[in-house]
Amino acid sequence: MKKTPKVCYTTLVTKLEAMDSEIMKLKEQIKQLKTCFVTDEEVCQDEIEADRAAYEAISDICLDALLDIEPKGDA
């Protein structure tokens, strides 16, 4: 007959407590990160569209400038 190995519950509980404290630390760090990145400022849709239009205009200008450059050499 096989003997089942004894399970030491104290080491298991100790490990679980250590994991629980690590999880609590991680939760607190995530909370701090959220406060760094999340702001209460409202972003106006007009501002987003204006930024998008400016980006497209600058992109078009840069593309036109690249197409206007004369190739140098045989490549």
The tens digit of pLDDT for each residue in 18-64 reads: 999 999 999 999 888 888 876 667 778 898 899 999 999 998 888 88
Residue 4 counted as domain residue = no
Q: Is the pTM of this model over 0.85?
A: no
Looking at the predicted structure, is the pLDDT value of residue 74 above 70?
no
Range of the domain at 41: 9-68
Residue 32 counted as domain residue = yes
Looking at the predicted structure, is the pLDDT value of residue 1 above 70?
no
Instruction: Please count the structural domains in the chain.
Output: 1
Give the span between the Cα atoms of 24 and 6, in whole angstroms.
Answer: 30
Residue 2 counted as domain residue = no
Instruction: Give me the phi and psi of 49, to 5 degrees please.
Output: -65, -35
Residue 34 counted as domain residue = yes
Which pLDDT score, from 0 to 100, does residue 22 have?
92
Residue 75 counted as domain residue = no
SS (H, E, C) the chain: CCCCCCCCHHHHHHHHHHHHHHHHHHHHHHHHHHHHHCCCCCCCHHHHHHHHHHHHHHHHHHHHHHHHCCCCCCC
